Amino acid sequence: MHDETIREALNAHWRASAAGDLDAEHDIYDEDAICDYPQSGERIHGKANLQALRSGHPDRPSGFEVRRIQGSGDLWVTEYVITYGKRAALTVSIMSFASGKVTHETQYFTEAFEAPAWRSRWVQRMP
């Protein structure tokens, strides 16, 4: 599959995620896809379970911003921010593709933290 086709599929996936369109959001996944959440130690087997898990989330995002999509061939990474209420999670999604579908995804979620003052002379503030 060409990189342009995968990038288009990813853009459609993230637009659907932001809009809460669960059917369109999960079109990208293979039926036997695996999704890992390493921070909580969870593994979701199968597209149907992944969609059910996400549809059962008690909240809906109040914000969703894709910051960057990078990849080629069968490995793609998306960096995005998802907000629930006033809590933003900085998120990285690593997707492996086969035959045009995601066969494995790993997602990392973290909250922002205040930068320590001691390193201010070596850094710039990001927007």
Q: Which sequence spans correspond to the domains of the chain?
A: 3-112
| Residue 27 CB burial class (10 angstroms; 0-12, 13-18, ≥19) | middle
Query: Under CATH, which architecture does the 3-112 domain have?
Result: Roll (3.10)
Half-sphere exposure of 76 (CA within 13 A, CB side): 26
For position 1, what pLDDT does the model report? 55
For residue range 53-91, list pLDDT tens digits in order: 999 988 888 889 999 999 999 999 999 999 988 889 999
Question: pTM value?
Answer: 0.90
Query: Looking at per-residue confidence, does 127 or 14 come out higher?
Result: 14
Task: Compute the average pLDDT of residues 3-30.
Answer: 95
> Collapsing DSSP states into helix, strand and coil, what is residue 8?
helix
% of the chain with per-residue pLDDT over 90: 83
Predicted confidence (pLDDT) at residue 15 exceeds the cutoff of 80: yes
For position 59, what pLDDT does the model report? 82
For residue range 33-45, list pLDDT tens digits in order: 999 999 999 999 9
Predicted confidence (pLDDT) at residue 14 exceeds the cutoff of 70: yes
Could you tell me the pLDDT band of residue 120, with boundaries at 50, 70 and 90?
very high
Parallel/antiparallel/unpaired status of strands 29-37 and 42-45: antiparallel
